A and B are shown apart, each in its own frame.
Chain A
């Protein structure tokens, strides 16, 4: 089978720091290769190195051979001539990779006109056929802002592959997509891989499982293990691969159901509209002490809006909360941990503010920090100098100080790497139960909700 890419002993350095350490791999037509690892571990740099678009300031060692031609021997213009025709890149952020002010059909068909020198009517026909095949037949005249993330990803796929490159590099293709849309793009890649060479870079083990072929597990630029997809995903050898696989919601233990006790909050007949669209109508919700309730739905379906109404931040169009909780008893954990803290002071100062306001006992902080595995030195730092996982634990600590009766967690782990995300979720569930708080857990990951929640509300 034809060898598309051969990478030998590739290392990438930023100054003295090694971002990718002596990586070798071969990609052949019909045999997909997947690099699996956490975000920010240097995986994407590999894609850039193969395409020859490594940002200036990074140093590359080792060899990359594309279709039998060594990258070192290629001039810049010869390398650029391979883009589109020999190698295609599926971008990480499809929304940003498409020109924001042009309809997508033109952005696909122009590849035919400019690269393959086809007559424009011919390219337009081809582009339309591609769009039809990808389920975007009606959407060709739309600009990216009018497409969903999944639609934009498919449009970008059509544009990237139009010129017929035998090699496709897909960089985090499932980023930001929910399970159903991830499966869609996965299916597309599987189909593409049948007669093309495919290199996928992802942190998503379900996508890796779907694509199959060879998997290389990487962390901080180091290869931890590599082998056949089946074998790696079912019998991982490295600790990291084990942790990564165990962190996936499908591997979580099923929580024991909580029996319903005293109600904390009841809302009757809630209805709300946004931009003329009815989000929910005549919704009754009751939350009990120690109960964990999941809230799922597509983006824009009103999950956060409902939570804000329950928290008393927003008045519903109709309906009401029967027993609104006093301020400080209904709290929220946010999706983007650094955004939830004042930026210009240290965590210690913020906690002091809270202690002074509510006359809390400051002595409980060291013990809680210890339980949540937070180093005392972190108190000196401002939020943006603390990692997302630690910050989310700080958010939990801040909430626990108040002994809240109702806690909303709004996608609290979607910006965290899978292993940290699993840890945070487990901690949240544990403390909500221990403190008898009602926890409303918002997520677009249905599997995760099914594992941890007593019941799920779908919008």
Chain B
């Protein structure tokens, strides 16, 4: 388990390093005087003058060689000193805190919705593999998977917000604002995960250990609850980790579509406005969120699957 946590910690470091490096390069590619922009970000474009810009120039060590600037950039990152937004001038960390909360909320609901959709359908189809219901699900899943998440979101908006007026088109507020974005994400994820669950279920139901459980005398319900369910659940949990990529990519798209004030929206917005500190902070948090989801999934898998645990030496030494 220590090895597992070490691996994820290393991944988090890699996230920080790659985000830091890319944004450092980005900072230097920005057109115009770098210090002037920072100064403007700090004092507003009306107040900024050559003097303030020079002060910033010295303060930021922009006279230093590039490698020294790079190191101090990474050092700031390591201390979680992410600077101020070039656009609003407010400390990035402050802005991003709320946004992270909103994104987590969306991610959590999307994942729960996707499991609520995918698990019953996947298990149902897996028990009746190749039957008509299974074929129908395969068709729907294939069609859904050919839709980018933002197209699904767009279609839901067109139908449920603009035509029917059941939900608001976009924005943030009560639970009615959460439903459409969360469902769009959930549908995209469920389109794939229900097939994975279906395949697992079909292979577990046809496994020698399920047949043996029945031949031992267990009835169908007992055999399913005691032997099939845990063996279906394990790969499903692992797949939630695999889908973390789709989830985070989806968050960027869906938050932009629905103007949901989360870090995905912030990232797209910051890239459009070339607000480097905001880009750095939001990309960093997305990366860390990705690592966090995977860590939780790994720990759950470790806890539930004895094959990953060390072999007990003697009885009672568990």
Residues of A in contact with B (beta carbons under 8 Å apart)? 51, 53, 80, 83-85, 88-89, 91, 93, 96-103, 110-111, 114-115, 138, 140-143, 145-146, 156, 159-160, 162-163
Contacts and interface: CB of A to CB of B under 8 A. Distances in A.
Contacts of B214: 80, 83
Nearest to B304: A101
B29 to A, nearest CB: 49
Given A93-B208, A96-B207, A110-B226, A83 B217 contact: yes
6 contacts: A91-B211, A98-B212, A100-B231, A100-B307, A101-B234, A160-B216
Contact of A159 (B216, B219, B222, B306): B216
Contacts of A141: 312, 315, 318
Top 3 closest A-B pairs, CB basis? A84-B217, A115-B217, A97-B212
Contacts of B306: 101-103, 143
B82 to A, nearest CB: 43
B314 interface: yes
A250 B306 CA distance: 43
Contact of B213 (A93, A99, A103, A143): A99
Contacts of B215: 51, 53, 83-84, 88-89, 91, 160
Contacts of A80: 214, 219
Given A91-B211, A97-B212, A101-B234, 7 more contacts: A84-B217, A84-B218, A98-B212, A99-B231, A102-B227, A115-B218, A146-B311
A176 to B, nearest CB: 14
Interface in B212-246: 212-219, 222, 226-227, 230-231, 234
Given A93-B208, A160-B215, A114 B315 contact: no
B35 to A, nearest CB: 59
Given A53-B211, A141-B315, A146-B311, A101 B216 contact: no
Contacts of B314: 138
B217 A111 contact: yes
Most chain A CB within a 10 A radius of its CB, from B207, B213, B217: B217
Given A85-B217, A110-B226, A111-B216, A101 B207 contact: no
A382 B178 CA distance: 59
B166 interface: no
Contacts of A143: 306-307
B312 A142 contact: yes
Contacts of A163: 216-217
B81 interface: no
B54 to A, nearest CB: 64
B230 to A, nearest CB: 6
B305 interface: yes
B209 interface: yes
B216 A91 contact: no
Contacts, number: 88
A85 B212 CA distance: 14
B241 to A, nearest CB: 18
B117 to A, nearest CB: 26
A140 B218 contact: no
B301 to A, nearest CB: 11
A107 to B, nearest CB: 8
Contacts of A160: 212, 215-216
Nearest to A139: B315
Contacts of B222: 110, 114
Q: Select the residue from B208, B216, B219, B226 with max chain A CB neighbours within 10 A.
A: B216
A102 B218 CA distance: 16
Given A101-B231, A101-B234, A142-B312, A114 B208 contact: no
B111 to A, nearest CB: 23
Contacts of B207: 96
Contacts of A138: 314-315
Given A111-B216, A138-B314, A97 B208 contact: yes
Contacts of A98: 209, 212
A142 B218 CA distance: 21
A130 to B, nearest CB: 13
Contacts of B307: 100-101, 143, 145
B186 to A, nearest CB: 28
B128 to A, nearest CB: 14
Contacts of B219: 80, 114
Interface in B180-230: 207-209, 211-219, 222, 226-227, 230
Interface string B294-306: 0000000000111
Of the listed residues B209, B226, B230, B305, the one surrounded by the most CB atoms of chain A closer than 10 A to its CB is: B209
A138 B317 CA distance: 11
Contacts of A93: 208
B216 A162 contact: yes
Contact of B209 (A53, A83, A96, A114): A96
A115 B230 contact: no
Nearest to A86: B217
A91 B226 contact: no
A141 B230 CA distance: 17
A163 B213 CA distance: 12
B212 A156 contact: yes
Contacts of B211: 53, 91, 97
Interface in B257-286: none
A45 to B, nearest CB: 14
Nearest to A95: B208
Of A51, A100, A111, A145, most B-chain CB atoms within 10 Å: A100
A89 B211 CA distance: 10
A142 B226 CA distance: 17
B311 A142 contact: yes
A99 B224 CA distance: 12
Contacts of A96: 207-209
Contacts of A110: 218, 222, 226
A80 B226 CA distance: 18
